[in-house]
Amino acid sequence: MAAKKSRAERPLTVSELAARVDGTLKRAMGDPVRVVGEVSGFRDRTHWYFDLKDAAAVISCVVFASSARKLKIRPEDGLEVIARGRVEFWAKGGKLSLLCDTLEPVGEGAIDLAFRKLCDELRALRWFDQSRKRPLPLFPRRVAIVTSETGAALQDVLDTARKRCPAVDLDIVDVRVQGESAAPEITRAIDRLSAIGPGLGIDAIILTRGGGSKEDLWAFNERDAARAIHECSLPIVAAIGHESDTTIAELVADLRCATPTQAAVAVIPDREALARQLDSQRRTLQADMNRRLDLVRRRIDAARARPWMRDPRRLLDHIGERVHERAKTLQRVLNLRLRSSRSRLDRLAVRLDAHRPAIIHARLQARVEAGRHDLERAMARRLTDARWRIRSGEREIEAIAPHRVLDRGFSWTTTGEGRLIRAAASVAPGEIIRTRVASGEIISTVNKGDGGAHGSDAPAADSPRSSKPSNPRPRSTPPRPDQMDLF
């Protein structure tokens, strides 16, 4: 009895309790469960996370990425939805969550709401703008048709293309146009054509299918398909459903047509219209060529009538005259330009001279010159006074000058070296002496040189020297007045 009581009272581990809670929930709730509530705290982190709430309670919800790609609406805060999924207790986090696989809006159809929301998003991205739509080729070489090869839309396009222009090659890209796999196949086909189509010579794409309900046409309302059309390197013509149907693929495409036949007409040129156009262009070209030929013939005839065509030398003479005239004209123009340039240079030189520092220097130099002249006049007056005083002194000196004494009959005698002789004993016999008189100089040789002796005024008879006075010679320096004892 005690053993049973101990087993009943054994506590559960946290994992055991979590497993019991999860099992009880699954058995009680069933699978799946539908819950209505208001979206709150939406977060897009590869998977979608948000809360569903009402006035009294809140439950966490998760939409895995695989399920999110299939949903026709994107939840946003405040949107009331019906969520379908299973309830699961996350043991590690201790949280109860609703794993959703579908979401439906409350009060509005899911398809209409999803269509409107995606249209608003793409319009904000300017994917519908007419300015980004590409022009269709005028003469396509090859056209790709993206559709189901079993649909009636393909036959309409093929029949119309054969009637209009069989020369255009058609490539059929078979895809599903209805169901869950339709949108991915359409997206892959357009992406593939965008990558390799230009290299294969494909110039345009026709995306088409026949009519159907909104659900049937939903593959052409997927965002991935719209993205592929928007980014495609080739122009795309879309014709989806009936004329009253409008899909996002058609809004993003470069041209929307009501029917597959209209799409083929828009892309494939009409060979009969091309033939008529070619014929019209041929006639226009022929008429233009005829006019040009007539003009050439008239020019040739006119050239033949010219004198130098009969005698080419006249043409050479004419060309030479023209060259000569143009050379003279060129020379005149060059001379005029040269004179004009020189005149301009002269004007510029005058202007430059007016602004040169040399002008200022000249004015300053003039002022200096004027000052110098004033100074010179003052100095001249002083010099005149000084000269007058000097001349007065010269006259006084002149009156007592040695040569004035000589003029009165005196003389002085010096040795050959110019030393003044003051006494007869200061000279020796045989020494040459010089005697200065008023009219010249007498050179003598001393015969005796004692105290009572006297020199001879004339050389001996056998002496080669002449007794005649000789001209003054500047060989000896005359004695200074203070060296002479004349008086």
pLDDT of res. 64: 92
Say if 112 falls within a structural domain: no
Say if 371 falls within a structural domain: no
Say if 31 falls within a structural domain: yes
Higher pLDDT, 133 or 1: 133
Number of compact structural domains in the chain: 4
CATH number at residue 85: 2.40.50.140
The percentage of residues in the chain with a pLDDT greater than 90, rounded to a whole number, is: 29
Higher pLDDT, 407 or 267: 267
Shared domain check, 41 and 154: no
pLDDT-derived band at 213, boundaries 50, 70, 90: confident
Shared domain check, 281 and 256: no
pLDDT of res. 242: 74
* Residue 161 CB-half CA count within 13 A: 26
Residue 285 has pLDDT above 70, yes or no: yes
pLDDT-derived band at 472, boundaries 50, 70, 90: very low
Higher pLDDT, 357 or 450: 357
How confident is the model over 155-165, as pLDDT tens digits? 999 999 999 99
pLDDT-derived band at 288, boundaries 50, 70, 90: very high
Higher pLDDT, 20 or 242: 20
pLDDT of res. 70: 81
Look at 138-142, 248-252, 437-441 and tell me which has the smallest mean pLDDT. 437-441
Residue 468 has pLDDT above 80, yes or no: no
DSSP state of 470: B
Residue 275 has pLDDT above 50, yes or no: yes
CATH number at residue 264: 3.40.50.10550
Shared domain check, 247 and 146: yes
Domain of 35, in residue numbers: 13-107
Say if 340 falls within a structural domain: no
pLDDT of res. 118: 84
pLDDT of res. 226: 92
- b/e for 318-343, b at 16 or more Cβ within 10 A? eeeeeeeeeeeeeeeeeeeeeeeeee
- The residue whose two tokens read 């699978």 is 31
Say if 416 falls within a structural domain: yes
pLDDT of res. 7: 54
Residue 222 has pLDDT above 50, yes or no: yes
Q: Which of these three, 269, 291, 321, is where a domain ends?
A: 269
Say if 91 falls within a structural domain: yes
pLDDT of res. 194: 93
Shared domain check, 41 and 149: no
pLDDT of res. 303: 78
In terms of phi and psi (left: phi > 0; alpha: psi -120 to 50; beta: otherwise), the region of 126 is: left
Structure tokens at 126: 């300017």
Residue 291 has pLDDT above 90, yes or no: yes
How confident is the model over 354-378, as pLDDT tens digits? 777 777 777 788 888 888 888 888 8
Shared domain check, 250 and 145: yes
Shared domain check, 214 and 232: yes
Task: Name residue 384's amino acid.
Answer: T
Q: Which of these three, 333, 364, 387, is where a domain ends?
A: 333
Distance separating alpha carbons of residues 145 and 158, to the nearest angstrom: 9
Distance separating alpha carbons of residues 375 and 37, to the nearest angstrom: 120
How confident is the model over 91-143, as pLDDT tens digits? 887 888 889 988 887 765 666 777 888 888 888 999 989 888 999 998 899 99
How confident is the model over 42-74, as pLDDT tens digits? 998 889 999 998 878 889 999 998 888 888 778
Shared domain check, 319 and 245: no
Shared domain check, 283 and 255: no
pLDDT of res. 107: 62
Residue 470 has pLDDT above 80, yes or no: no
Shared domain check, 159 and 39: no
pLDDT-derived band at 179, boundaries 50, 70, 90: confident
- The residue whose two tokens read 């991935």 is 224
When the pLDDT of each residue in the chain is averaged and rounded to a whole number, the result is 82
Residue 487 has pLDDT above 80, yes or no: no
Q: Which of these three, 333, 353, 377, is where a domain ends?
A: 333
Say if 444 falls within a structural domain: yes
Residue 423 has pLDDT above 50, yes or no: yes
Residues 6+ apart with CB under 8 A from 253: 207, 229, 236, 237, 238
Say if 348 falls within a structural domain: no
Shared domain check, 84 and 101: yes
Determine the length of the chain: 487
pLDDT-derived band at 171, boundaries 50, 70, 90: very high
pLDDT-derived band at 335, boundaries 50, 70, 90: very high
Shared domain check, 143 and 68: no
Q: Mapped to the 3 state alphabet, what secondary structure does 366-387 carry?
A: HHHHHHHHHHHHHHHHHHHHHH
Look at 5-14, 45-54, 218-227, 471-480 and tell me which has the smallest mean pLDDT. 471-480
Shared domain check, 203 and 188: yes
Look at 37-41, 123-127, 303-307, 443-447 and tell me which has the smallest mean pLDDT. 303-307
